[in-house]
Chain A
Amino acid sequence: MRDVTYLRPRTLSEAVQLYRTTPGCRPLAGGTDLMVMLHARTLRPEPRGGAVLDLWSLAELKGVRRLGDILEVGAAEPYTGIIGSAEVQQHLPALAAAARTIGAAQIQNRGTLGGNLANASPAGDTLPVLLAYDVVVVTDRRSIPIDRFFTGYRKTALESDELITAVRFPIGRQVAFRKVGTRAAQAISKVVLAVSLTPARVAIGSVAEVPLRAHRAEAALEGGDVAGAIAAVADDIRPIDDVRSTAAYRRAVTQNVLRGLLDAFARG
């Protein structure tokens, strides 16, 4: 790793100010994506003698808060905190389920929702859950509806100096989650699904360049057509062959897992 300036703001407003004024500055939350990229030198653009802006200790970005019928999760709250939150367990069990599948204990102690969102990997495991809940991504300057957040392969609607501060979940929605990886822990998803019946949401990761909503499948579900939804989802996704799996497998498993999750809803 080359010389990088390390910035540790004490307040959110200080962080926002520093991010705006420091050239080549990268936010650092848990560092579980960033450190890997720095180490492998795959970070683009490389921090040209740049800086990291450590968000880890910012109180404003931590915790889980109830705001009326909204549950707000701080952008820098680690997965372990999310899994341990009684409010998350009660109202957002699918989020807790997704968080439990991320890496293993060490990664869950450091990894955050803000990092998963900004990293915007098509395989990010919380991202289909966020899509299925129709969350709102709160930044230092605005609110971005999740269905407008992912704009392309690892591209987001965030501006170059914009910080995510929190994620807002509506309370009362039933979301089912399933991740299919190669092994029981420390696995990157081959397919990851989050599904809700009312409203009809079918959100899938690792099957396209972005985590996506399967709109055709959702339309069929909206009309109560479960078989139609399972058939239609094949046209919603654009899976590829890569080092982790094959397009054919991802297609088949998307359909099978969707069927399984919908059956489970039907059984109650």
Chain B
Amino acid sequence: MFEVTQATEVYSTIEIAKGDVAAGEQAADFVVERTFRVGLQEQLYIEPQGAIAYPYRETGNGKRETGVTVVGSLQCPYYVHRALKRALALTDEQAVVIQAETGGGFGGKEEYPSIVAIHAALLACKAGWPVRLIYDRHEDLAATTKRHPGVISHRTAVKKDGTLLSQDIYIVLDGGAYCTLTPVVLSRAAIHAAGAYSCPNVRIRARAVATNTPPNGAFRGFGAPQSLFAAELMVEHVAERLGMSSVDLRRKWMLRVGDTTATGQNLTESVSAELVLDAALRAVAPNRLTAQPPIRHGRGLSLVFHGSGFTGSGERKLSGTVAVAGLANGTFQILTASTEIGQGTKTIFCQLAADALGVGLDKVVLAPQDTSLVPDSGPTVASRTAMIVGRLIQEAATELRDRAKREPLPLRVEKTYVQPDSIHWDEATYRGDAYPVYAWACTIADVDVDMTTGEVRVTDVVTAVDCGKALHPVMAEGQIEGGSLQAVGWATIEEIKMKDGGYQNDRLATYLIPTALDAPRIRTILVENPYSRGPFGAKGIGELPMDGPAPAIIAAIHDATGVWLDEVPATPEKVLAACTSR
């Protein structure tokens, strides 16, 4: 494999600059430098990639007409729709994409289903017959995109009292052999790279490079887990250098209302670093039992933020659209391309609409995610569905309720996202409001490390989360629990070794994720600090839980063993080697 730091073929670069890093370093008592590495990760949705293509489309009365229909396991019907139109030279009407009940996505079904759909559609057109193309697990693991691995270096300048003077950050993400959504992943990685902290002088340089591996792509968190991993461990290293508690240092640095981020975004509302930090600290018992050798206990903490919605002008460009229809029989239909992939979209959309319409939940249904029926609401990604699309549904339903007082059913109200005037973003300079708002989380992880085998058992993960408003608390907690476990796997055992440009761990016998027996006790504390433009104040929550656990676990391993790993996964091999060479 080409070493990412040596790779010369570049997909994209980003530079974010705030203040003057050189001046910051000049005024510093200490400059701490450190390099971090993060590994590949497979989404491992339960259902592999798959699609059925029909070499025709059916119109209302069951008549077959020229076109192609694809039914598939996917997150973003309109992405597949666009790909089909382009590949097969179809018109908007001729291409029909229908989401099948989908067994998980985690970003893995954002982009890749377009490839499966095109392959199936080409075969169907050639055969003149429907074609079903379903990957088996081995094919899925061997071929589909993974989380981008990367190398992230930090130089942080501080005063003796901990005052943060500058952050100089360099990110290299490995895009693999072909460019996927890599530039967009790099963008989210870069914007989150300084962490949830306020710093006057920041420079973030980021590049995504080509290597000779299968391509990497979208995965829950979309670059932010990678850069936040480095940012959070950097706090630990600086605190260690200063001889200060890293919790106290976070308190000193963390973003508050009125502070500006690395892109110069002025944070005006729903800023909750302190809230979640306090809530998490309150939730854990301070004293821990001492462990019996060869086991050692350790505890670590992390504080993260995650931008809700598309980056920068993304939401404006997408201009997501929904409709709510009142039918003649007195029931209501939500028309949206946002998909249910296990995260609860169907439930919360119906909740929001029923509430706004003032009817029972049983009176509202979600129309099928079928591009011949529903408008393009934008993709189901980027922690945007509840906050952006949910809000549009709420607005459409409210308007429908008013109109239904005066006009007879059936009625249909459509709403399209309009970027508020207060959001400014300059794509050329990477300055401005990178996201409409941020969600916040503080994670505390407890680990047991076996000093004879280097095995790390994550026993407890406690996360305090501000998602503005938990529209459905049980499902919000479900997002945190699932995401936390996914992050535990990334941090500890999920490892992919490369050979001749391919993955060696391309079966479930060798790509290991935590089992029920490996899962820690996971506790979630929902802190609600509403966002004025979210439905009932809701912000995104889907990706956030992927950000915090990994750095907290590495800090906990350090607490237990005295060894800094600075990389994930912290496999037993690496932990034992580090403990032995110490």
Instruction: Give A residues with C-beta under 8 Å from B.
Output: 104, 180, 182-188, 190, 243-246, 248-249, 252-253, 256-257, 259-260
Complex-state Cα separation, A253 to B457, whole angstroms: 17
- Whether B577 contacts A248 by the Cβ 8 Å rule is yes
Interface membership of chain B positions 451-493, coded 1 if the CB is closer than 8 angstroms to chain A and 0 otherwise: 0111101000000000000000000000000000000000001
- Whether B518 contacts A249 by the Cβ 8 Å rule is no
- Whether B453 contacts A257 by the Cβ 8 Å rule is yes
Q: What are 22 A-B pairs with beta-carbon distances under 8 A?
A: A180-B453, A180-B455, A180-B572, A182-B512, A183-B493, A183-B515, A183-B518, A184-B457, A185-B518, A186-B515, A187-B512, A190-B572, A243-B497, A243-B504, A243-B505, A249-B454, A249-B576, A249-B577, A252-B580, A253-B453, A256-B452, A256-B453
Whether, in the assembled complex, B248 has its beta carbon less than 8 Å from a beta carbon of chain A, the answer is no
Most buried by B among A180, A182, A190: A182
- Whether A257 contacts B452 by the Cβ 8 Å rule is yes
Chain A nearest Cβ from B497, distance in angstroms: 6
Number of CB contacts from chain A to chain B under 8 A? 55
Whether, in the assembled complex, B328 has its beta carbon less than 8 Å from a beta carbon of chain A, the answer is no
- Whether A184 contacts B518 by the Cβ 8 Å rule is yes
Whether, in the assembled complex, B510 has its beta carbon less than 8 Å from a beta carbon of chain A, the answer is yes
Chain B nearest Cβ from A22, distance in angstroms: 30
Complex-state Cα separation, A190 to B454, whole angstroms: 12
Whether, in the assembled complex, B294 has its beta carbon less than 8 Å from a beta carbon of chain A, the answer is yes
- Whether A260 contacts B504 by the Cβ 8 Å rule is no
Most buried by B among A104, A187, A248, A252: A252
Q: A185 with B515: in contact, given A243-B497, A244-B510, A260-B294 (CB under 8 Å)?
A: yes
A184 partner residues in chain B, CB cutoff 8 A: 457, 515, 517-518
B493 partner residues in chain A, CB cutoff 8 A: 182-183
B518 partner residues in chain A, CB cutoff 8 A: 183-185
Name B382-411 residues within 8 Å CB distance of A. none
B505 partner residues in chain A, CB cutoff 8 A: 243
- Whether B573 contacts A245 by the Cβ 8 Å rule is yes
CB-CB nearest in chain A for B513: A183
- Whether A104 contacts B515 by the Cβ 8 Å rule is yes
- Whether A253 contacts B576 by the Cβ 8 Å rule is yes
Complex-state Cα separation, A249 to B579, whole angstroms: 12
Q: A252 with B576: in contact, given A180-B455, A184-B518 (CB under 8 Å)?
A: yes
Complex-state Cα separation, A186 to B517, whole angstroms: 10
Chain A nearest Cβ from B191, distance in angstroms: 34
A185 partner residues in chain B, CB cutoff 8 A: 515-518
- Whether A260 contacts B452 by the Cβ 8 Å rule is yes
B577 partner residues in chain A, CB cutoff 8 A: 248-249
Chain A nearest Cβ from B485, distance in angstroms: 12
Complex-state Cα separation, A157 to B3, whole angstroms: 46
Q: A249 with B572: in contact, given A180-B455, A260-B294, A260-B452 (CB under 8 Å)?
A: yes
B344 partner residues in chain A, CB cutoff 8 A: none
- Whether A259 contacts B509 by the Cβ 8 Å rule is no
Complex-state Cα separation, A248 to B578, whole angstroms: 13
Nearest first, the 3 A-B pairs at minimum CB distance are A184-B517, A256-B452, A249-B573
Whether, in the assembled complex, B514 has its beta carbon less than 8 Å from a beta carbon of chain A, the answer is yes
Complex-state Cα separation, A256 to B451, whole angstroms: 9
Complex-state Cα separation, A150 to B486, whole angstroms: 40
Complex-state Cα separation, A93 to B504, whole angstroms: 36
Chain B nearest Cβ from A11, distance in angstroms: 36
Complex-state Cα separation, A183 to B511, whole angstroms: 11
Chain B nearest Cβ from A124, distance in angstroms: 15
Complex-state Cα separation, A253 to B573, whole angstroms: 10
Complex-state Cα separation, A183 to B455, whole angstroms: 9
B516 partner residues in chain A, CB cutoff 8 A: 185
Interface membership of chain B positions 540-582, coded 1 if the CB is closer than 8 angstroms to chain A and 0 otherwise: 0000000000000000000000000000000111001100100
Complex-state Cα separation, A246 to B512, whole angstroms: 16
Complex-state Cα separation, A183 to B515, whole angstroms: 7
- Whether A183 contacts B497 by the Cβ 8 Å rule is no
A244 partner residues in chain B, CB cutoff 8 A: 510
Complex-state Cα separation, A260 to B518, whole angstroms: 22
Contacts A185-B518, A256-B453, A257-B452 known; 12 new A-B pairs at CB < 8 A: A180-B455, A182-B493, A183-B493, A183-B514, A184-B517, A186-B512, A190-B572, A243-B505, A249-B454, A249-B572, A253-B454, A256-B294
CB-CB nearest in chain B for A258: B452
Chain A nearest Cβ from B422, distance in angstroms: 48
Most buried by A among B453, B493, B504, B518: B453
Complex-state Cα separation, A246 to B577, whole angstroms: 11
Complex-state Cα separation, A253 to B515, whole angstroms: 23
Complex-state Cα separation, A256 to B576, whole angstroms: 11
B504 partner residues in chain A, CB cutoff 8 A: 243
Chain A nearest Cβ from B400, distance in angstroms: 51
Complex-state Cα separation, A246 to B571, whole angstroms: 11
Complex-state Cα separation, A244 to B518, whole angstroms: 18
CB-CB nearest in chain B for A36: B509
Complex-state Cα separation, A127 to B282, whole angstroms: 49
B452 partner residues in chain A, CB cutoff 8 A: 253, 256-257, 259-260
Complex-state Cα separation, A248 to B577, whole angstroms: 9
B510 partner residues in chain A, CB cutoff 8 A: 243-244
CB-CB nearest in chain A for B497: A243
CB-CB nearest in chain A for B580: A252
Chain A nearest Cβ from B560, distance in angstroms: 16
